Amino acid sequence: MALAEVSRVNAIEKSQRRLEKENKKRLKQGLPPLAVPEDSGGEDLAEPEQAQEKMEEKAVEESISPNALKVEESKEATVKDEKNIDGVFLLSLFQKQGRLVDFLQQDIASFSNAEVGEAARVVHDGCARILGDYFTMEAIRTEEEGALVSVDADYNLSEITLTGNLRGSAPYRGELLHHGWKISDQHPPEQLDPKARFIVQPAEIEVR
């Protein structure tokens, strides 16, 4: 037997004796014994702590089962599949159908009320059409504006804003100034062009 092989065998036996000694201590303390991993290939484990590290690494690898990986992949796919209409795209739709950006960027101080009203009608018609195509809007409060309404103690802070004389604690009673709006559903297009991420409206050039 070569000298290198003898040294390797001695090292393995030494490691095993150390593990046996350590395991006796652990058994007295009520702890589970350490063991050399099956896939160690007989490599030298100079200290018992190394055996413990090997066992822990193997346990972590085995805990990541194929089913667990599939669940994680499914969650990632669900997040990727969620489609939301972002603000830039929505603004581009309002511009395309209602010329909203043109209207807001225009200085209307020099225009008459009739001219402003005529332009506002175009903006309203186009933007209302986009709103109806891509969103389902729902009133937060169904009462008529101006009606006296009650607000329970567990009201949603994001849905209701209270103003006026806020003395004491809920329930409150007051006048409904605005019924509020919320989006109950949205209908995004099948695919948004990533290259047009920040384009509200492309420049138009008539070639001559």
58 and 94 together in one domain: no
End-of-domain residue from the set 66, 95, 120 = 66
175 domain residue, yes or no:
no
**What pLDDT is stored for residue 149 in this prediction?**
95
Please report, for the chain, how many H helices and E strands are present, in that order: 6, 4
Instruction: Report the amino acid identity of residue 18.
Output: R
Q: Which of 145, 136, 134 is nearest to 185 (CA)?
A: 136
**What pLDDT is stored for residue 146 in this prediction?**
95
**What pLDDT is stored for residue 199 in this prediction?**
84
100 and 134 together in one domain: yes
Express each pLDDT in 121-176 by its tens digit: 999 999 999 999 999 999 999 999 999 999 998 999 999 999 998 888 888 999 99
123 and 192 together in one domain: yes
**What pLDDT is stored for residue 144 in this prediction?**
95
208 and 115 together in one domain: yes
**What pLDDT is stored for residue 68 in this prediction?**
54
- CB-based contact 140:148 (threshold 8 Å): no
199 domain residue, yes or no:
yes
71 domain residue, yes or no:
no
**What pLDDT is stored for residue 9 in this prediction?**
63
Per-residue pLDDT tens, the chain, 208 aa: give them.
Answer: 455 555 666 677 777 777 777 777 777 777 777 665 554 444 444 455 555 555 556 555 555 555 555 556 555 544 444 556 788 888 999 999 999 999 999 999 999 999 999 999 999 999 999 999 999 999 999 999 999 999 998 999 999 999 998 888 888 999 999 999 999 998 887 666 777 778 888 888 879 9
36 and 100 together in one domain: no
Burial 25-49 (b: 16+ CB within 10 A, else e): eeeeeeeeebebeeebeeeebeebe
- In sequence order, what are the beta bridge partners of 186? 135
End-of-domain residue from the set 19, 37, 66 = 66
The domain of 21 spans 3-66
Name the DSSP class of 196.
G
121 domain residue, yes or no:
yes
30 and 111 together in one domain: no
**What pLDDT is stored for residue 65 in this prediction?**
56
**What pLDDT is stored for residue 79 in this prediction?**
44
55 and 135 together in one domain: no
Place of tokens 């409060």: 141
- CB-based contact 105:95 (threshold 8 Å): no
135 and 48 together in one domain: no
10 and 46 together in one domain: yes
Contacts of 163 by beta carbon, 8 Å cutoff, 6+ apart: 177
Measure the CA–CA gap between 22 and 34, rounded to whole angstroms: 8
Q: Is residue 69 classed exposed, middle or buried when 0-12, 13-18 and 19+ CB atoms within 10 A define those classes?
A: exposed
Measure the CA–CA gap between 73 and 8, rounded to whole angstroms: 44
- CB-based contact 33:27 (threshold 8 Å): yes
Domain count, the chain: 2
